């Protein structure tokens, strides 16, 4: 049986003791140590070299995200589970970006925590459904707001500029020496990329994003 070495990081002694007592009942878990803040976590992680670190987020001196970043720089093989009371989008994405392989809320069932530890020790990832839904929502939001001039082709920007001047599809086709069908294809693509449904919305959005100028 392969033993998983664990470091517990939380600024509340009662929480650390409770987690430690719970994990010690599992024969494949070995508690290497505990830390009460991010600075102490960095020192102990580098010294003890655990397989998995259970990391709280809000702590004095150095928070959990910064601690993960610094430990990863020194010991990239260490894996992290964020165990926190916070489900705010900001914390979720900062934690994942720092290198956490799992994100659990402290009210998660103990079996879920056990599964997370074993899962990430194998190099896999695990995120609670309630957190995963926030990740998907955020990715969808980011896909809408990251549209840049480079996302539109040169021809599409030409079409947009003419649309902004109130030029009809037929006149756009004449001016660009393309068919009206091609103009419609470009407009459909513009609508999709800018996440709009009308010419007015397309022009307004393009102006706001600096894609075109009047």
In a domain, 213, yes or no: no
**End position of a domain, from candidates 142, 166, 196:** 142
Q: How far is CA 177 from CA 28, 62, 185, in A?
A: 71, 61, 15
Number of structural domains (the chain) is 2
The verdict on 113 and 153 lying in the same domain is no
* Distance from the first to the final alpha carbon of the chain: 69
The verdict on 138 and 163 lying in the same domain is no
* Nearest partner of 120 among 53, 213, 24, 43, judged by Cα: 53
Q: Are 160 and 211 in contact (CB under 8 A)?
A: yes
In a domain, 59, yes or no: yes
pLDDT in tens, the chain (214 residues): 789 999 999 999 999 999 999 999 999 999 999 999 999 999 999 999 999 999 998 888 899 999 999 999 999 999 999 988 866 656 777 888 788 888 888 888 999 999 999 999 998 888 766 666 666 666 566 555 555 555 788 899 999 999 998 899 999 999 999 999 999 999 999 998 888 999 988 998 888 888 888 7
Return all residues near 121 (Cβ < 8 A) that are at least 6 apart.
4, 51, 52, 79
Can you list the positions of beta strands (E) in 72-210?
A: 79-84, 102-105, 126-127
In a domain, 37, yes or no: yes
The verdict on 95 and 153 lying in the same domain is no
Domain, as residue range, for 174: 149-208
The verdict on 133 and 170 lying in the same domain is no
CA gap 81, 152 in Å, rounded: 39
The verdict on 51 and 109 lying in the same domain is yes
- The two beta strands, 102-105 and 4-9, are unpaired
**End position of a domain, from candidates 123, 142, 161:** 142
The verdict on 169 and 110 lying in the same domain is no
The verdict on 73 and 88 lying in the same domain is yes
In a domain, 82, yes or no: yes
The verdict on 182 and 135 lying in the same domain is no
The verdict on 44 and 132 lying in the same domain is yes
What's residue 88's pLDDT?
A: 65
Q: Are 202 and 163 in contact (CB under 8 A)?
A: yes
In a domain, 214, yes or no: no
In a domain, 80, yes or no: yes
The verdict on 163 and 68 lying in the same domain is no
Q: Starting from the edge strand earliest in sequence, which strands make up the sheet with 4-9, in order?
A: 29-35, 4-9, 52-55, 79-84, 102-105, 126-127
CA gap 186, 194 in Å, rounded: 12
The verdict on 124 and 153 lying in the same domain is no
- The two beta strands, 52-55 and 4-9, are parallel
Return all residues near 112 (Cβ < 8 A) that are at least 6 apart.
104, 128
What's residue 130's pLDDT?
A: 63
CATH number of the domain to which 22 belongs: 3.40.50.2300
Phi, psi of 168 (to 5 degrees): -75, 165
In a domain, 167, yes or no: yes
What's residue 87's pLDDT?
A: 63
Find residue 197's DSSP bridge partners. Answer: none
What pTM was computed for the model? 0.63
The verdict on 19 and 116 lying in the same domain is yes
The structure tokens 């009206």 sit at 180
**End position of a domain, from candidates 142, 168, 198:** 142
CA gap 204, 174 in Å, rounded: 24
CATH number of the domain to which 171 belongs: 1.10.10.10
């Amino acid at each position: 049986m392969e033993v998983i070495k664990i470091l517990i990081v939380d600024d509340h002694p009662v929480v650390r003791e409770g987690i430690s007592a719970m994990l010690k009942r599992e024969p494949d878990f070995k508690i290497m140590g505990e830390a009460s803040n991010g600075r102490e976590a960095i020192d102990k992680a580098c010294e003890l070299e655990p397989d998995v670190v259970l990391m709280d987020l809000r702590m004095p001196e150095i928070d959990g995200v910064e601690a993960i970043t610094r430990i990863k720089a020194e010991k990239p093989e260490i894996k992290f589970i964020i165990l926190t009371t916070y489900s705010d989008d900001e914390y979720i994405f900062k934690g994942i970006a720092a290198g956490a392989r799992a994100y659990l809320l402290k009210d998660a069932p103990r079996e879920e925590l056990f599964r997370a530890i074993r899962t990430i020790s194998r190099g896999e990832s695990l995120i609670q459904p309630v957190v995963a839904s926030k990740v998907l929502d955020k990715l969808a939001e980011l896909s809408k707001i990251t549209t840049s001039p480079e996302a539109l082709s040169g021809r599409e920007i030409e079409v947009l500029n003419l649309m902004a001047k109130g030029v009809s599809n037929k006149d756009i086709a004449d001016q660009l020496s393309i068919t009206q069908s091609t103009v419609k294809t470009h407009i459909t693509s513009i609508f999709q990329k800018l996440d709009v449904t009308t010419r007015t919305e397309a022009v307004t959005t393009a102006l706001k994003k600096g894609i075109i100028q009047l």
